[in-house]
Amino acid sequence: MSQVDRNNPRRGSASESAYTIFEFDREFPDDAACLEYLVASLYPEGIYCPKCEKVTKHHRENGRPSYACQYCGHHEHPLKGTIFQGSATSLKLWFYGIYLMASTRCGISAKQLERELGVTYKTAWRMFNKIRSLLEQDDSMFEGIVEVDEAYIGGQAKWRSAPRSRARGITARGSKAAKTLVVGLAQRADDENTGKVHVTLARGTHTPDFTGHVLEKVLPASTVYTDETPKAAPLSKWGYKHGRVNHSEKVYVSGDI
């Protein structure tokens, strides 16, 4: 019988799980390790600084899940736009909850998540629903003919008076100041592809932010239709067939576009 190394446990050949709890604890021992994993996944080529207009070296801010550009001090928040944004629950517990829900064959309930994580049922229920929505997302790539557009959504209802400070901000910066920028992708249905839509929060307002969504979700050689935004200019260089519709001239249909 071979000696067992308890500090480096190995998975048996009959194990149902491809990723054990021992491996999880070794890879994600604390919140810092979880945050580093997120940053590596979200910014595989480094963090882009919109002020410097290039990828720069960023340093982790002490005690905060954010990074600052070493040249200009611009702050980048990796949790923005994720299920972790605004949560007081530790990243380690979030990651463990994802591990449990993704690796359990028959699934688990919010009540079981409460027991496993040691959180209140209200917190477990909220985490359960957010993680479930994440696991149910279709991660398949878009292909064929894909339409991509940006839009500002949200803002304050017209019938409600805005605070003076916010009103001044909108006046100074435009009506988009209090709204959220999203990017939408729509794959057209044809003989080979089914129609589907993907909408996500934009990472920023610059060209790499826009093209990054296309590169992550659309296969090369696909036909990508956009409006006249200059952010889409690099697409043709990256193997996409790119077509435009000039909305500024009130053109919304042009041939197949």
Q: How far apart are CA 225 and CA 256, in angstroms?
A: 10
**Packed helices 121-135 and 91-103: angle between N→C axes, nearest 10 degrees:** 60
156 and 118 co-located in one domain: no
Q: Are residues 25 and 123 in the same domain?
A: yes
The tens digit of pLDDT for each residue in 83-115 reads: 899 999 999 999 999 999 887 766 789 999 999
Give the pLDDT confidence of 198-257 residue by residue, as tens digits: 888 887 788 888 888 898 889 988 999 999 888 898 898 888 999 987 655 444 444 554
Task: Dihedral sign for Cα 244, 249, 255, 257, please.
Answer: positive
Looking at 98, 115, 135, the residue that finishes a domain is: 135
SS3 labels along 126-150: HHHHHHHHHHCCCCCCECCEEEEEE
Domain count, the chain: 2
pLDDT band at 162 (very low <50, low <70, confident <90, very high): very low
Co-location of 126 and 162 in the same domain: no
Which residues pair with residue 60 across a beta bridge?
67
Same domain, 223 and 121: no
Task: Please tell me whether residues 117 and 167 are part of one structural domain.
Answer: no
- CA 39 distance to own-chain centroid: 11
Indicate whether 85 and 190 sit together in one domain: no
Mean pLDDT (the chain, rounded): 79
Containing domain of residue 121, as a range? 21-43+78-135
Of 96, 127, 99, nearest to 111 by C-alpha is 127
**Angle of the 121-135 helix axis to the 110-117 helix axis, nearest 10:** 120
pLDDT at 242: 93
Predicted pLDDT of residue 14? 38
Which residues are CB-contacts of 104 (< 8 A; sequence separation ≥ 6)?
none
More confidently predicted of 22 and 106: 22
34 and 113 assigned to the same domain: yes
pLDDT score at 158: 40
Instruction: Kindly report the backbone phi and psi dihedral angles of residue 46, in degrees, each rounded to the nearest multiple of 5, phi listed first.
Output: 105, 165
Residue 102 half-sphere exposure, CB side, CA atoms within 13 Å? 18
Mean pLDDT score, 109-125: 95
Alpha carbons within 13 A on the beta-carbon side of 128: 18
CA 49 to chain centre: 17
pLDDT > 80? residue 123: yes
How far is it, in rounded angstroms, from Cα 222 to Cα 236? 10
Q: Which helix (H) or strand (E) holds 23?
A: helix 21-27
Structure tokens at 119: 């959180």
38 and 112 together in one domain: yes
- Residue 104 domain flag: yes
Residue-wise pLDDT tens digits, 168-199: 332 334 555 557 788 889 989 888 877 888 88
Q: What is the pTM of this model?
A: 0.53
Sign of CA dihedral 185, 188, 193, 197: positive
The residue type found at 47 is I
